[in-house]
Amino acid sequence: MNESAAGERRANISFTGTTSEYFKIWIINLALTIVTLGMYSAWAKVRKLRYFYGNTHLEDGTFEYHASPVSILIGRVIAFVTMMTYYFTIQYAPMASAVIFLAVFLLMPVLLVRSRVFQMRNTSYHGLRFNFQRDYGRSFATIYGSALITVLSLGLASPSAIYMRNKFVANSTGFGKTLFKFGGGQGEFYAIFWKSAGLAMLGLMIFGGFIAVFTGAASSDPWWIPVLVFAFSAAISIYFRVRQRNYVWNTTTLGSNRFVSFLSVTDMVVIYLTNIFAIILTLGLAIPWAQIRLAKYRAEHLQVLLVDDWRDYIASKDSQGNALGEEVGEAFDAEIDIGF
């Protein structure tokens, strides 16, 4: 962990939600979503996020989520209609489907920005809203530029693409009018990427030989082989994401404030894998327990080294975004995933 500099005070983040409380919200959300054929899902999302935000504490304040379920529902309906139109035009009007696909593809950077604006502007701390800049030009350059770099390099330069996306999202996010600033470099992303690749290759050689010995002596493939492969693949993915998350937070500032993220790869592997197996064994009933457990661990392993007073931050006059951008972005699985 980073040491506190002179004048900084270390503020812990805590999560006080409980499985018993959230299970009631979760089971009601699930039941009403099923009964209403999915229409209640917008209200379910808002209830869930308000519970998780409201139980996340930093110093003497909590976070709040302000989105309107109706706005989210409208966005989801439009996204659903767009997807269904695309599906049917593929069958009966291929040229029209190509136009729809191209339009969505070209609008993706805009949808991503509007999605992030909606999310941030509906999140507050101490009554002050977060914000996201509407820089569509940078969004186009980041999304298409990072994709082009990855394709042309056959994936070898994907760390540069990941760096570009992280920098864009972090530097465009603000608390009121004050923007976050990401100070990391590309080198660490390459180090994380190649260490992950090295671990994956080493694991494949070790497990490959191990599995070959057992399968050669068995009349049929043991049941545990796909389980082992899944667990190993998940562990490598978690290693990459945890290292990336820690690095992004540890090199990001907000004004004079710094962040310290100290997630443990081992802990996260254990949490994720046991969560998955618990959910499978309970036929999904362990989902609330798994979500609360993960939220609590993440919160307890992120700290803020504070210098500024929250009262010194000024609210932005930016609008509160548009649910259409958020829900269409989610429907097409196009949100930017960063270490935040």
| Span 152-189, pLDDT tens digits | 999 999 999 999 999 999 999 999 899 999 999 999 99
For 98, the token pair is 């190509």
pLDDT mean over 73-88: 85
Region of 283 (left: φ > 0; alpha: ψ -120 to 50; beta: rest) is left
Whether 72 shows a pLDDT value over 70: the answer reads: yes
The predicted structure's pLDDT at residue 228: 80
Mean pLDDT score of the chain: 87
How many residues are present in the chain? 340
Q: Among 54, 74, 55, 73, which Cα is nearest to 64's?
A: 54
Phi, psi angles (nearest 5°) of residue 142 = -70, -50
How much is the average pLDDT of 76-97?
Answer: 85
Q: Tell me the C-alpha distance between 326 and 331, whole Å.
A: 9
Tell me the one-letter amino acid at 55.
N
At residue 325, the pLDDT reads 57
Residue type, 308: D
- Are the C-beta atoms of 327 and 116 separated by less than 8 Å? no
Global pTM value: 0.86
Q: How far apart are CA 294 and CA 289, in angstroms?
A: 9
Q: What angle do CA 68, 70, 74 make, to 5 degrees?
A: 125
Name the residue ranges covered by the structural domains of the chain: 9-331
Averaged over 290-309, what is the pLDDT?
A: 94
Per-residue confidence (pLDDT) for residue 316, from 0 to 100: 66
The β-bridge partners of 138 are none
In 3-state terms the chain splits into helix, strand, coil percentages (rounded to 5) of 65, 15, 25
Please, are residues 252 and 175 in contact by the beta-carbon 8 Å criterion?
Answer: no
Q: Which pLDDT score is estimated for 231?
A: 86
Please give the pLDDT value at position 75.
Answer: 82
Amino acid identity, residue 54? G
Residue 332: predicted pLDDT? 47
